[in-house]
């Protein structure tokens, strides 16, 4: 059974915080789509991430100009809202994964984030 894009249930491909941190410093870094709210994003986000709250992602996806040949990583606070984001991105032909554990896991790992 195919789930609607917006349901935050099920399993999707994931990348753990340490692996994402390493990938961001590689020759082909992934594209980052942060699907949290604007206040959450301002509180702290990964450098280079674009803020697109999950409710606006379907309408704004085409305007993001994502490269379909590069990995896209969806980010939320706890890897809940990023599930439907990954499902939507994959439905549009992108190789999309979520940040395992979301920003909570990123912060627990002590990895850097930008504020503002």
Averages of pLDDT over each 10 residues, the chain, 116 residues: 65 96 95 98 97 96 97 96 95 97 98 94
| Positive/negative CA dihedral, 52, 57, 60, 64 | positive
The predicted structure's pLDDT at residue 53: 97
Whether residue 40 lies in the annotated active site:
no
Residue 52 tokens, joined: 């697109």
The predicted structure's pLDDT at residue 105: 98
The predicted structure's pLDDT at residue 116: 82
| Class of residue 20 by CB neighbours under 10 A (exposed 0-12, middle 13-18, buried 19+) | buried
Catalytic residue among 76, 86, 88, 99: 76
Q: What pTM value is reported for the model? A: 0.93
**C-alpha–C-alpha distance, residues 55 and 84, integer Å:** 10
Angstrom distances, CA of residue 71 to CA of 7, 23, 42, 103: 22, 10, 24, 18
CATH fold for domain 14-108 = Oxidized Rhodanese; domain 1 (3.40.250)
Q: What are the boundaries of each domain within the chain?
A: 14-108
Q: Choose among 113, 107, 105: nearest CA to 16.
A: 105
The predicted structure's pLDDT at residue 40: 97
The predicted structure's pLDDT at residue 68: 96
């Amino acid at each position: 059974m195919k789930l609607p894009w917006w349901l935050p249930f099920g399993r999707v491909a994931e990348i753990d915080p340490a692996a994402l941190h390493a990938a961001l410093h590689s020759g082909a870094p992934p594209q980052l789509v942060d699907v949290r709210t604007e206040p959450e994003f301002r509180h702290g986000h990964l450098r280079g991430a674009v803020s697109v709250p999950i409710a606006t992602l379907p309408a704004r996806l085409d305007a993001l100009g994502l490269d379909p040949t590069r990995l896209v990583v969806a980010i939320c606070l706890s890897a809940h809202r990023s599930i439907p984001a990954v499902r939507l991105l994959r439905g549009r032909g992108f190789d999309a994964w979520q940040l395992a554990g979301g920003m909570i896991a990123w912060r627990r790992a002590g990895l850097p984030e930008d504020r503002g």
